[in-house]
Amino acid sequence: MKRRVIYPFISNNKFGIQRPFFGTYSNDDVNTVEGYVISDYDGETGASELANYDPTEWFQAPYTTQNENITIDGSVVSGLNNVYYAFQDLVIEVQTEIVDSEGVVQTQLDATSLGYPPILKMPCVKFAGGLDGTVVDEVYFNVTLENGVLTATGTLPSSGDWKLLEARLNQSLASIGADWRITRPDVTFLV
């Protein structure tokens, strides 16, 4: 027989990322509870819906971006509704500050000090077929992350509808073991 139970969410690191908490509770745990999640409990195996949860589903996106600058072939460009126009094989650079909800640059986000891989990449995906299109290609921009400033540089090898997607960027962060995420508008490059 399954019963509904409530599990607390607690912060588990200096970035304030939340996760469901299993196990015994201490006074310290009680002081860090920030919300609750309801799940089924079957009496034997624990929280059946959460026992094998995907940690990326529990990440919150505490950071956003500000002061974004995009250059194409060395020239600053301004887009319309985050849509930019370029020619293939021109160097595109996206530079932005990663900030919290107060607009404070998160200087602790530094690839070297956090032990991230020495080569970081940001995916840019190509779509075909309009708004409900299919991904047909993906390239990777080279990335530096220093003191809360992210810089991505790359080229787009063919014409088409290329996008820097928030969801795909956050998947990349998860793949390197980053315990933080970003909320930001998607960016489109029409080449």
In the chain, how many domains are there? 2
Whether residue 170 is found in the same domain as residue 108 = yes
Whether residue 54 is found in the same domain as residue 70 = no
Residue where one domain finishes, among candidates 18, 37, 58: 58
Specify whether the CB–CB gap between 110 and 116 falls below 8 A.
no
Whether residue 72 is found in the same domain as residue 98 = yes
Q: Which residue has the higher pLDDT, 146 or 9?
A: 146
Whether residue 148 is found in the same domain as residue 72 = yes
In whole angstroms, give the CA distance from residue 27 to residue 103. 32
Query: How confident is the model over 9-60, as pLDDT tens digits?
Result: 444 443 444 444 444 444 444 444 444 444 444 444 444 444 444 444 444 4
Whether residue 12 is found in the same domain as residue 86 = no
Whether residue 27 is found in the same domain as residue 54 = yes
Whether residue 17 is found in the same domain as residue 69 = no
pTM of the full structure: 0.68
Host domain of residue 27 = 3-58
Assess whether pLDDT exceeds 90 at residue 125.
Answer: yes
Whether residue 127 is found in the same domain as residue 169 = yes
Among the listed residues 109, 180, 189, 183, the one whose alpha carbon sits nearest the alpha carbon of residue 141: 189
User: Which CATH number belongs to the domain containing residue 109 in this structure?
Assistant: 2.60.40
In whole angstroms, give the CA distance from residue 166 to residue 135. 15
Q: Is 17 helix (H, G, I), strand (E, B) or coil?
A: coil
Q: Is 170 helix (H, G, I), strand (E, B) or coil?
A: helix
Query: Edge to edge, what strands does the sheet with 92-99 contain?
Result: 75-76, 64-72, 92-99, 149-154, 134-146, 120-128, 161-164, 187-190, 83-85
∠ CA 138-63-92, rounded to 5° = 35
Whether residue 53 is found in the same domain as residue 68 = no
pLDDT (0 to 100) of residue 118: 87
Whether residue 72 is found in the same domain as residue 34 = no
Whether residue 81 is found in the same domain as residue 132 = yes
Q: Which of 61-65, 98-102, 167-171 has the lowest mean pLDDT?
A: 61-65
pLDDT (0 to 100) of residue 98: 95
Taking CA atoms, 119 is separated from 122, 129, 145, 146, 170, in Å, by 10, 32, 10, 13, 17
Query: How confident is the model over 59-76, as pLDDT tens digits?
Result: 445 799 999 999 999 999
Residue where one domain finishes, among candidates 42, 58, 74: 58
Buried-state track 2-31, b at ≥16 Cβ within 10 A, e below 16:
eeeeebbbbeeeebebbbbbeeeeeeeeee
